Chains A and B, each alone.
Chain A
Amino acid sequence: QKEVEQNSGPLSVPEGAIASLNCTYSDRGSQSFFWYRQYSGKSPELIMFIYSNGDKEDGRFTAQLNKASQYVSLLIRDSQPSDSATYLCARLGAADKLIFGTGTRLQVFP
């Protein structure tokens, strides 16, 4: 079982819709989680981090964490074609190591 699992996609949504990206993890002791966006050939850039159960909102993005069920999700409201990218879920492991999932490719079509 992978430590952090994501569906590779692609997830295709129409412009203006809500994109829902999901991630599950195996280590129950995990405390901190991150969502990164990566455009093709570019470096990952942080969108949000979350470490408390519940929702955290930042603009069009909402991260949701459920530690009992061991999943974390990212909702993108009013999706735009510029949101088309690969979204990486990561948890913080020992010694500040980021443990990444393999990413979900999101396609937003006009």
Chain B
Amino acid sequence: EAQVTQNPRYLITVTGKKLTVTCSQNMNHEYMSWYRQDPGLGLRQIYYSMNVEVTDKGDVPEGYKVSRKEKRNFPLILESPSPNQTSLYFCASSFAIGGRNTDTQYFGPGTRLTVL
């Protein structure tokens, strides 16, 4: 089954404790992306990756890191989480066709993160 998986699905942590949210896709997609969703602000892109070893900042990258060592995985790292990073996080993937991507972006199930 084609899917994007994320782990953990729920996480409560404390300020400053490093954490990693994993994302994996089994569709051989080049493009992967992380979004956060907050009430009244909608979905905003954090980081994206066009292919292995190629990552770039989205609209709200501060406080986050990513890596793309393998095509299927795109972990999101919070080195020192703060309460303003409490949010619902989604990973997404798709085939990338150089800016004219009409293929669907598949979203993972989401990770609800609370930072106390």
Chain A residues in the interface with B (C-beta under 8 A): 31-32, 34, 41-46, 49, 51, 88, 90, 92, 94-98, 100-103
Contacts and interface: CB of A to CB of B under 8 A. Distances in A.
A42 B99 contact: no
B33 A97 contact: yes
Interface of B: 31, 33, 35, 40-45, 48, 50, 56, 58, 90, 92, 94, 96-97, 99-102, 104-105, 107-110
Nearest to B107: A43
Contacts, number: 61
Given A49-B104, A95-B56, A43 B90 contact: yes
A97 B100 contact: no
Contact of A102 (B31, B41, B45, B56): B41
A95 B48 contact: yes
A98 B37 CA distance: 13
B102 A103 contact: no
Contacts of A96: 31, 33, 48, 50, 94, 96-97, 99, 101
B59 to A, nearest CB: 8
Contacts of A34: 104
A97 B45 contact: yes
B102 A98 contact: no
Contacts of B107: 43-45
Contacts of A97: 33, 45, 48, 58
A46 B104 contact: yes
- Which 10 A-B residue pairs are closest in the complex by CB-CB distance? A43-B107, A102-B42, A100-B43, A46-B104, A96-B101, A100-B42, A44-B107, A43-B110, A96-B96, A97-B45
B47 to A, nearest CB: 11
Given A44-B90, A88-B42, A96-B97, 18 more contacts: A31-B100, A32-B100, A32-B102, A34-B104, A42-B109, A43-B110, A46-B104, A46-B105, A49-B104, A92-B99, A92-B102, A95-B48, A96-B31, A96-B33, A96-B48, A96-B96, A96-B101, A103-B42
